[in-house]
């Protein structure tokens, strides 16, 4: 299970999944079984078309529009499928046609692919600290930084699947003239779109709605959507390359998995609703020890920063130790691992600690370069199991183990 996550897979820090009576995995993809994919493979056999926006891909895009982007008019060209969530960000940035080295402002508290995408398309990443409440780069923070510095694109992240106010970013972009691309990798179903801004989603297996590897972009407007579609296919337009793109196409096989996934959408929704409610029962018990002000109310019982578009599509559960907590995050991770509970230090280390980004300019909220909130979050946030295969007793086990750890009622097996 540990290797199934796009974001981390034996790469970022992962709690050891120790032997335990009842091991609880952090993430278990909820994907269509073979039998449900077969009818679409039969279609592929008949079409003999395997990539390049084939019939299954176009049918899948239609379903995406119907179920996740019904705000788009039928003839809209803003939505484009692609090969993965990182590809979605790269395509969006390429389609902005910026000069090489243009500055892209993004939060330091995110998965590294947000920054690798910027580097890979030849632009310059600039890191911002995030809001204490939402754990995100907000329009207010961007405005604050723009008073003393320059950015050519703003690339906010729907951190851990928590959505942004699309309309607030739309307003920001209209007022400043700066393009906004939201990395909503983990927020399909949760993050709204808005005309004038671009939103990128991942369809990786570990996301709430997965197809294996896949991505989808809703561009700022039709013309950008058309450019993105060209860039996904090398940059071809009427037989010639007008601007260099790449091969970012969603294959017919992945579209087949996606179409099978849509057939079981009601099942996914039901399971995720149970999951959400299962955790919600315990929010009162956790609140004395953890900060959840950043998490949406329909999940954790607190006032949301931004409401989820659909409360069922919340991607990950992360808890943040309070400043005065009796234990540190490594101890918590260790205690939970002793109880067979897999965790992950999401977005740890934060971007400024990756060797590849050590020279990147940083902006704190106090006018200096120290990103205080990011520093705090990367040493206090931990992801706990959140996926539709969890049963009620699993959730109870997770919560009681978390509480026992933080209330110092447990002793690490290693320490005995």
The reply to whether 267 sits near a second copy by the rule CB under 8 A is: no
Q: Which residue has the tokens 């008073």?
A: 147
The reply to whether 370 sits near a second copy by the rule CB under 8 A is: no
Q: What is the DSSP string of 119-140?
A: HHTT-EEEEE---TTTSS--HH
Sole binder of a second copy in the list 176, 233, 283, 298 (CB under 8 A):
233
Q: Bridge partners of 323?
A: none
The Cα–Cα gap between 402 and 380 comes to: 14
The reply to whether 361 sits near a second copy by the rule CB under 8 A is: no
Q: Which is nearer to a second copy, 266 or 355 (CB)?
A: 355
Q: Which is nearer to a second copy, 229 or 312 (CB)?
A: 229
User: Smallest gap, in angstroms, from Cβ of residue 215 to a second copy?
Assistant: 9
The Cα–Cα gap between 283 and 271 comes to: 19
The reply to whether 356 sits near a second copy by the rule CB under 8 A is: yes
Q: Which stretch binds a second copy (CB under 8 A): 155-163, 176-184, 241-249, 261-269?
A: 241-249
The reply to whether 37 sits near a second copy by the rule CB under 8 A is: yes
The reply to whether 51 sits near a second copy by the rule CB under 8 A is: yes
In this structure, are residues 215 and 232 in contact, taking their beta carbons and an 8 Å threshold?
no
The Cα–Cα gap between 129 and 178 comes to: 19
Among residue numbers 72 through 101, which ones bind a second copy (CB under 8 A)? Answer: 83-87, 90, 100
The Cα–Cα gap between 238 and 258 comes to: 29
DSSP 236: E
User: Smallest gap, in angstroms, from Cβ of residue 167 to a second copy?
Assistant: 30
The reply to whether 120 sits near a second copy by the rule CB under 8 A is: yes
User: Smallest gap, in angstroms, from Cβ of residue 140 to a second copy?
Assistant: 29
Q: Which is nearer to a second copy, 129 or 213 (CB)?
A: 213
Residues 6+ apart with CB under 8 A from 286: 292, 300, 319, 399, 402, 403
| Number of residues located near a second copy, criterion CB under 8 A | 76
Sole binder of a second copy in the list 16, 223, 247, 412 (CB under 8 A):
247
Number of Cβ atoms within 10 Å of the Cβ of 179: 23
User: Smallest gap, in angstroms, from Cβ of residue 230 to a second copy?
Assistant: 9
The reply to whether 340 sits near a second copy by the rule CB under 8 A is: no
The reply to whether 205 sits near a second copy by the rule CB under 8 A is: yes
The Cα–Cα gap between 82 and 51 comes to: 11
């Amino acid at each position: 299970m540990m290797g199934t996550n796009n974001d981390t897979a034996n790469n970022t820090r992962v709690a050891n999944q120790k032997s335990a009576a009842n091991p609880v995995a952090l993430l278990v993809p909820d994907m269509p079984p073979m039998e449900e994919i077969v009818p679409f493979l039969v279609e592929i056999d008949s079409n003999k078309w395997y990539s390049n926006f084939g019939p299954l891909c176009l049918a899948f895009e239609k379903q995406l529009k119907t179920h996740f982007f019904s705000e788009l008019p039928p003839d809209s060209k803003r939505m484009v499928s692609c090969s993965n969530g990182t590809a979605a960000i790269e395509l969006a940035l390429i389609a902005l046609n910026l000069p090489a080295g243009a500055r892209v402002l993004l939060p330091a508290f995110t998965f590294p692919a947000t920054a690798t995408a910027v580097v890979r398309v030849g632009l310059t990443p600039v890191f911002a600290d995030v809001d204490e409440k939402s754990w995100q780069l907000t329009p207010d923070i961007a405005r604050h930084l723009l008073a003393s510095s320059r950015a050519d694109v703003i690339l906010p992240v729907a951190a851990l699947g928590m959505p942004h106010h699309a309309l607030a970013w739309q307003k920001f972009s209209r007022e400043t003239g700066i393009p906004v691309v939201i990395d909503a990798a983990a927020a399909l179903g949760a993050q709204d779109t808005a005309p004038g801004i671009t939103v990128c989603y991942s369809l990786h297996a570990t996301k709430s709605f997965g197809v294996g590897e896949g991505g989808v972009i809703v561009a700022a407007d039709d013309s950008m959507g058309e450019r993105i579609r060209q860039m996904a296919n090398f940059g071809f337009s009427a037989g010639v390359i007008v601007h260099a793109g790449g091969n970012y196409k969603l294959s017919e096989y992945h579209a087949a998995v996606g179409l099978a996934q849509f057939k079981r959408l009601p099942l996914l929704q039901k399971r995720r609703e149970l999951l959400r409610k299962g955790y919600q029962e315990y929010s009162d018990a956790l609140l004395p020890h953890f900060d959840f002000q950043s998490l949406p109310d329909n999940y954790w019982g607190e006032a949301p920063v931004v409401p989820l578009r659909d409360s069922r599509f919340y991607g990950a559960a992360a808890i943040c130790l309070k400043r005065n907590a009796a234990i540190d995050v490594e101890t918590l991770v260790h205690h939970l691992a002793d109880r067979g509970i897999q965790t992950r230090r999401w977005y740890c280390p934060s971007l400024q600690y990756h060797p590849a980004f050590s020279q990147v300019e940083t902006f704190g909220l106090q006018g200096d370069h120290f990103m205080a909130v990011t520093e705090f979050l990367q040493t206090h946030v931990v992801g706990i199991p959140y996926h539709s295969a969890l049963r009620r007793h699993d959730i109870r086990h997770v919560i009681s183990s978390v509480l026992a750890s933080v209330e110092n009622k447990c002793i690490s097996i290693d320490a005995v």
